[in-house]
Amino acid sequence: MEKLVLLFLSIIFYILSFPPFNLSFLIFFTLIPLFILISKISSKESFIYGFLYGFGFYGINFYWLPNLLKHFVPYIFGVFLSLLLASYLSLYTGIFLWGVKKKFNSLLFPSFFWCFLEFIKSVGPLSFNWGTLGEPLVNIYPLLQWGSVFGGLGLSFIVVLINNILFKFKNFPLKSKFYSVIFILILFFIGNIMGLPLEKPFLVLKIGAVQGNYDSFSKVYLRDIEDQLKIHKDLTLSLPDNLYLIIWPESVLFCALNSFPEYINELRDLARRKGSFLIVGALKMEEKKLYNSAYLFSPFDKEYKTYSKVQLVPFVEELPFSFLFPSFIKNLVGNYNKGEGFFPFKTPLANIGTLICFESLFSFTAREHIKNGADILVVITNDGWFQGTPAVWQHRNLSLIRAVENRVPLIQVANTGITFFVNPYGKIIKESKEGERKVYYCDIPINKNSFSLYRLWGDLFMFVFFIIYLIYKIK
């Protein structure tokens, strides 16, 4: 019974630290009951309880998934897929607790090991980066700033380390207790200093966003296109003229837009009429290949540019290991192709790195845009699929971390919300309510000389130190 109580506490602390509860400080206690538990059990049991820890969190976190999937597949199949996803993600927490059991007395190993597994989970054909331990730190401003040094992995490292320090604290000698307290205070103190915006903006751009709030389930290919175009066009016309940039959400026009010259001409005219660059989410067809894309229309000429999504959603936009599946499964999955790379839109005053929905969950996608010259990040998404669930806020939080990592402003525009503008330090400038049909605009400061250490070394820093740590321990 004691084991189940400890497991339950860990799961509850994990859940309560995330939206919609946002009791972020509880993330520093979520692993402590598990650490107490594994001191009493075997390595095999540690894996099982670690798996159950993950399954408890993901199972509750994705409670809404079967109701979403029932629009496309039978409900029971949606339940099966939800359980399958939760089981897959829970393997990582199982392996984590098994590894910690092996190195139970180590202070740093759990943090390094968690980050290693979190990284593995975010790469390859099954990449999925939901529910990172660092996400709740978006509400703890001083610690959030460490994302500009060590990225999202570094935030998770801090969370696991503080959990381990608190777990071991009572058995520390007095000197170690003193150093532990000083270390945590230094994390907050330096984080506060890093969070002071010292540089002056190079320029200020006026940027608008359009939250159309239309029903995502009506987005069937070549259906409701005219209505969706009218909604977003009318909203756009209500914005002030001569904004530098106006942004529409992902897949506003759920058709291969480049195959419809009448829509292209209408959007060109709209950009010219407003005197603004216009980003529109739509599909693109080239050489019989379908892409989830963003289009940039200029107020100055008839040319338009496109960026196509590179990081596709597994089992939704592409089918990993497709040769293993029968044809009827393949027909349920979107047959999208990957874009050529993370190349920002170049405009006269600023280069715009555009992330499409799922891409903003990953640190490397935004960093690649920045490396290729982006001065500002834009996320376009259709979170209407998740309306009324914590998923819309979790997506908002992960996108926000991308701004801090790279020390650039970020604007996320979502069909039903959450649409928001955030500065390079993770402070919200303006934010929508979920379910509004409304436009938003504000001044966004741009600093072309902004810099972050994470831009420089990415996740390499964490891995180099992990290797050094392992070599040191082996010796």
Asked whether 65 and 85 are in contact (CB, 8 A), the reply is yes
Regions of the chain short of the pLDDT cut 50: none
User: Is the entire prediction scored with pTM above 0.85?
Assistant: yes
Q: CA 357, 316, 47: angle at the middle one, nearest 5?
A: 95
Asked whether 207 and 245 are in contact (CB, 8 A), the reply is yes
Domain edges within the chain: 2-196, 203-449
Nearest to 145 by CA among 431, 424, 428, 464: 424
β-bridge mates for residue 247, sequence order: 209, 279
Nearest to 59 by CA among 41, 76, 81: 81
Burial code of 309-331, b = ≥16 C-beta within 10 A, e = fewer? bbbbbbbebbbeeeeeeeeeeee
pLDDT for residue 220: 59
pLDDT for residue 390: 92
Per the document, the length of the chain is 475
Options 3.90.1300.10, 3.40.50.300, 3.60.110.10, 3.40.50.920; which CATH number does 203-449 get? 3.60.110.10
pLDDT for residue 222: 58
Q: Which two tokens stand for residue 106?
A: 């180590």
Q: DSSP secondary-structure letter at 250?
A: T
Q: DSSP secondary-structure letter at 383?
A: G
Determine if the peptide bond prior to 20 is cis (ω within 30°). yes
Q: Which two tokens stand for residue 469?
A: 């740590």
β-bridge mates for residue 308, sequence order: 293
pLDDT for residue 71: 72
Asked whether 204 and 446 are in contact (CB, 8 A), the reply is yes
What is the residue type of 212? G
pLDDT for residue 200: 77
- Please give the Cα distance from 30 to 16 (Å, whole number): 10
| Cβ atoms within 10 Å of 408's Cβ, excluding its own | 27
Q: Kindly report the backbone phi and psi dihedral angles of residue 426, in degrees, each rounded to the nearest multiple of 5, phi listed first.
A: 85, 15
- Please give the Cα distance from 308 to 111 (Å, whole number): 35
Nearest to 312 by CA among 331, 286, 293, 330: 293
CA dihedral 474, 96, 50, 91 (to 10 degrees): -130
What is the residue type of 241? D
pLDDT for residue 425: 97
Asked whether 171 and 217 are in contact (CB, 8 A), the reply is no
Nearest to 311 by CA among 346, 285, 336, 282: 336
What is the residue type of 137? L
Q: Cβ neighbours of residue 343 under 8 Å, at least 6 residues apart?
A: 307, 369, 372
pLDDT for residue 100: 96
